[in-house]
Structures are given as structure tokens and as C-alpha cells.
Structure 1
Amino acid sequence: MPGDSQANTDILLAGAAAALTVDLLVYPLDTLKTRLQSKDYARLYLNASTNTINKPTLFRGLYQGVGSVVIATLPSSGAFFTAYESLNHTFAPLPLPTPLRHALSSALAELVSCAILTPAEVLKQNAQMLDGTKGRSTTLATLSHFRSRPFALWHGYTALAARNLPFTALQFPLFERLRQMIWDSRERTGHSRAQAPLYERGAVTAVSAGLAGSVAAVITTPVDVVKTRVMLAAAEEQGHGKVVDAMGAAVGKRKRLSGWQVGREIWAESGVKGLWRGGLLRGVWTMLGSGLYLGAYESGRVYLGRRRGETKEDVL
């Protein structure tokens, strides 16, 4: 990895631009996933008489809460890629298998990213569940729940890390392996990776990342369901011990549960089906998101490097 500050700036810019682009494109799918995985899914989004989906309610306000994500994604994604590239370079001289090096680098980078992203995730997922804010920003309406206890915004850090660590540890080694296989095949037919046009670099990365991401997403769905429940519960408690649901109705006091307890609660409610709710949607969303995200990141990073006239390009 290049050691100069300009290269680090390239990584930050490419990572931030890629994250912002993808967040805006696939955000509606993320909102649908949150609603499917919520504790109140049946009460809020199913017709009581027919037990069918209430489409107007389920598909309303699919961009609710996007503001908090836009603000937090830029620094968190930049921090992730900077840490990942640096750690990958640092661990390179060690006698570690390549997949283990990629998994370790991505896991440590994810811990840094999660610390920045957690408050935005809590705000986002609770805003995605709101209804009837009468023109008021859903992000601001959700933020008001945390006015007297701002540190509650980090209540979901452990749950987010518990989901993202195995996800990235699975995704990145598989992604790197798939991408290397594609380039090995391309180079046997005379297509040099270093001389490949920008669109080809981005396309190969996008396909590899999309396939790897979808596999990792489906496998880690149960942890994602628990993470969603934990983050939605973070906004339930308001001042003086009052507890409200996503619609603002008082439901009484609710004890804060650990991720393990939430998982057991989901199992008791819905069994295996409940733990895998939204898995297919998460797989599709992650295939699109990861493919666009890393494809745009690779294209942006290579473009910036080539614009400076670099002849040697380090790769992710």
C-alpha cells in the first residue's frame, strides 16, 4: 500500500463517495428489511383481518432516516478502508495465510467503523419505523428520544459489531479469492489487470463483492435480526421511565435486554423462521450494495491514482 498522504486521501475520498452512492440507491431495501425484522411487524404492517401485507403502510416513507446515514457513512467508510488497507499492508510480511490476513484486517477495521456508525444506525432504524410525524424530520423526531440520554445512541455497538465482524470476516476473504480467480482467468486470455480499463476494474470488483456479500449476508441474518431489535429497543425508553413503541404509544416499562436475551425472545416468538426473517431481502440488498459499493470504491481509487500519473497501482 502506498505510504504517502495523497494515497490515503484517495482511499478516503473513494470510500466515502462509494458509500454515499450506494446508501442512496439501496436505502429503500434497507428500510423494508428493518420493518420486516421489527418486533411490531405483524401489528404495524399486516392487515389484522386477512393477515396480508398492508402495502401502503409498509412501503410508505422508504427514505425515512437517510439523513443520519449520509452524515455518518462518510467518516465511517473512510475510516474502514483506511484501516483495512493499512492493516493489510502491515500484516503482509507476517507468515499468515492470505484469507486470514484479509479476515483479520477487515475485522479490526470494522471495530473502528462501528464506533462511528452505531449512533447513525440507531437513529436510522428507529426513524424507519416512525409514522405520522406531521412534516417533521423523522431523524429529528427520533433524536428527541435521546435528548436526555445521548449515550443510549451507542447501545447497539456490541450488536452491530457482532453482526459486522463475522460478515466482513466471511465477505472479504471470499471477495478477494473470487476477484483473484476472475483476474487470473482474464490474464490467461491476455487481459492485464494493471492495464485494464476503469470500467473493467470496477466491474470485476463489483461482481466479486456482490457474490461474496450475498453469501455472507444470508449466513449472518440471525445476528442481523437481533441487531435490528436491539437498536429499535434503544429508543423505547424516554424520560421518567416511560416507554413507547415505534408509533409513540405507551407500552409500559421494558427491561433492556442483551443480544443473547433478544435472540432467545425471537426464538420463543417465531422459532427459526423469526431468526431468518428478511434473509432473502438482506441477501439481495447486500449483493447490490456490496457490488456497487466496492465496485465504485475500486473505480474511484484507481481513477484518482491514474489521474496523478501513477504507473503502479496497489489493490485492495
Structure 2
Amino acid sequence: EGLGRPFRGIHVTALGAGPAHALYFACYEQLKRQLSEVLQQGGNSHLANGIAGSVATLLHDAVMNPAEVVKQRLQMFNSPHRSVLSCVRSILRSEGVAAFYRSYSTQLALNVPFHAVHFVTYELLQEHLNPRREYQPRAHITAGAVAGAVAAAATTPLDVCKTLLNTQESSALSSLRLGGHLSGMANAVGSVYRLGGLPAFFRGVQARVIYQMPSTAIAWSVYEFFKYVLSKGSVERRTSL
């Protein structure tokens, strides 16, 4: 299918990303405020930030996981599916609803720690770079980039294990005399350690950090911009009344 293959399913990701990120940030803001009231009488609680980020990730991935499954089925070589609807119907008919969430727990094992560290780091940096919590694009971009880098570096071991589970890399597994299918995070951790010891858990950490930094910087700057615009509009409407 030539150059079109890399872009097959991109609209599925776009459709899923909208509601997923809306739930993600809405849940985070609401839960952060409520938990901060309980834990620190309205102040900025890093524990509240971490918990709110983790719960927000549960909702985000619950929406994105089915979209990712459909996207991957559409992108397979010689995929029998020609549209999103035909793919969804085929999966439901042959595998049931559970097929859309087969990798959900594995995804959460990586994403929950990542976003917990991510949100705590972002809020901590905002305390120092933007203590008055005003709209400051430079502060949001900087804090977002650094938060993404820290979270990416801290969760690289989990990403390495997930990659081995997803790829089932035959030469690596055969070198350990492992036959069949590698399953479970515990087995992946043991296999990675046997392949290269502790340094193996941080292979690719530079590439992962470089990938995440612009992504999280853009996400936070866009989010903070719309938050500022919407809150400003709300204040102006109340003032006019």
C-alpha cells in the first residue's frame, strides 16, 4: 500500500485522543483540588498531584486503549480491515469486548508511574518558576519539558520490559534459551536483567527523554493556554453580569 501504510489508522488515534485528553486534564484538575483540600487545606500537595495524575491516567488509557487496538489492526501488513467500523465489528464478533483491553494492564503498569512522576515534577517546577501561577508560556514550556524528561528517565526500565513483551524479540529470548511466548511483567524484568544486568534497563533512555520532552512541553503549553483563555472569558462574563 506504499506510503499510505504509515498513516493508516491515524484518524482513529486523533478521534480517541480528543475525549481521552479532555477526561485526562478534567479529572486531574478536579481531583487535585479536592485532594489538596483534604491533605493540605487547599495548598499545593505533591501527594495529591501524584494521585490525581494516576487516576487521570486510568481514564485516559481506558479511552485510548481501544483506539490503539483498532489502529494497530489497521496498520498490520495485509490487514483484512478496510475501515474503522469493519475493524471494530470484526474484533467484537471474533474476540469480544475484552480484546480492546488485552494490553490495558500492561499499559497502565508503565503509564501510571510515568504520569505520577510527570505531574508531581511539573507542579514542583511551577512552584519555583511561576509561584503566582499566572499564565507564563515560557514557564509552562520549560516545566513541561523537564517534567517529561524526568518521568521518561525514571520509567525507562518499565518501557524496556514492555517493549520486550510487545516485540517478543526472538534473538534475545533464544540467547537465554527461552522458547515460546514471554508473558508477564515479572518474567520480562527477569529476562532483561539476564540479558544485560542493571544497565540493560536503561538502554534507549536518551532517545526516550528526547522524544518525551517536546511532547510534554507542547501538551502543557497548549493546555495552560486554553485554561487561561477559558478562565479569562468566564471572569469577564461574570464581571459583565
Identity between Structure 1 and Structure 2 (%):
23
Q: Distance in 1 between matches of 2:5 and 2:205?
A: 22
- The aligned residue for residue 281 of structure 1 is 207
CA change 1:277–1:152 in 2 (3 A) is farther
From 154, 167, 171, the equivalent of 1:219 is 154
Q: Distance in 2 between matches of 1:261 and 1:86?
A: 37
The answer as to 2:143 corresponding to 1:208 is: yes
Q: Distance in 1 between matches of 2:62 and 2:180?
A: 26
Q: Distance in 2 between matches of 1:207 and 1:74?
A: 24
Q: Distance in 2 between matches of 1:282 and 1:138?
A: 32
Helix, strand or coil for the counterpart of 2:130? Answer: helix
Q: Is the 8 A contact 2:51 2:116 kept in 1?
A: yes
From 49, 61, 64, the equivalent of 1:114 is 61
C-alpha deviation, 1:103, in angstroms: 0.6
Q: Distance in 2 between matches of 1:169 and 1:158?
A: 16
C-alpha deviation, 1:153, in angstroms: 2.6
> Gaps (5+ residues) in structure 1?
1-58, 188-192, 234-252
> Gaps (5+ residues) in structure 2?
169-178
The answer as to 2:46 corresponding to 1:103 is: no
From 97, 104, 121, the equivalent of 1:157 is 104
**Number of residues paired by the alignment?**
221
- The aligned residue for residue 175 of structure 2 is none
C-alpha deviation, 1:106, in angstroms: 0.9
Q: Is the 8 A contact 2:114 2:155 kept in 1?
A: yes
Q: Is the 8 A contact 1:226 1:263 kept in 2?
A: yes
- The aligned residue for residue 263 of structure 1 is 189
Letter in 1 for 2:11: G
- Of Structure 1 and Structure 2, the greater helix share is in 2
C-alpha deviation, 1:295, in angstroms: 0.7
C-alpha deviation, 1:228, in angstroms: 3.8
CA change 1:89–1:222 in 2 (3 A) is same
Letter in 1 for 2:104: Y
Q: Is the 8 A contact 1:221 1:275 kept in 2?
A: yes
- The aligned residue for residue 28 of structure 1 is none
Q: Is the 8 A contact 1:156 1:231 kept in 2?
A: no
Q: Is the 8 A contact 1:202 1:296 kept in 2?
A: no
Helix, strand or coil for the counterpart of 2:188? Answer: helix
Please give the residue correspondences for 1:165-244 in structure 2 after superposition, counting only pairs within 5 Å: 165-184=112-131, 194=134, 201-231=136-166
C-alpha deviation, 1:267, in angstroms: 3.8
Q: Distance in 1 between matches of 2:205 and 2:74?
A: 21
Q: Is the 8 A contact 1:106 1:169 kept in 2?
A: yes
Q: TM-score, normalised by structure 1?
A: 0.59
Q: Is the 8 A contact 1:156 1:230 kept in 2?
A: no
From 224, 230, 235, the equivalent of 1:304 is 230
Q: Distance in 1 between matches of 2:206 and 2:90?
A: 32
Letter in 2 for 1:166: P
Q: Is the 8 A contact 2:192 2:201 kept in 1?
A: yes
The answer as to 2:221 corresponding to 1:295 is: yes
CA change 1:71–1:265 in 2 (3 A) is farther
Q: Distance in 2 between matches of 1:254 and 1:153?
A: 24
CA change 1:115–1:229 in 2 (3 A) is farther
Helix, strand or coil for the counterpart of 1:95? Answer: helix
Q: Distance in 1 between matches of 2:91 and 2:204?
A: 28
Q: TM-score, normalised by structure 2?
A: 0.74
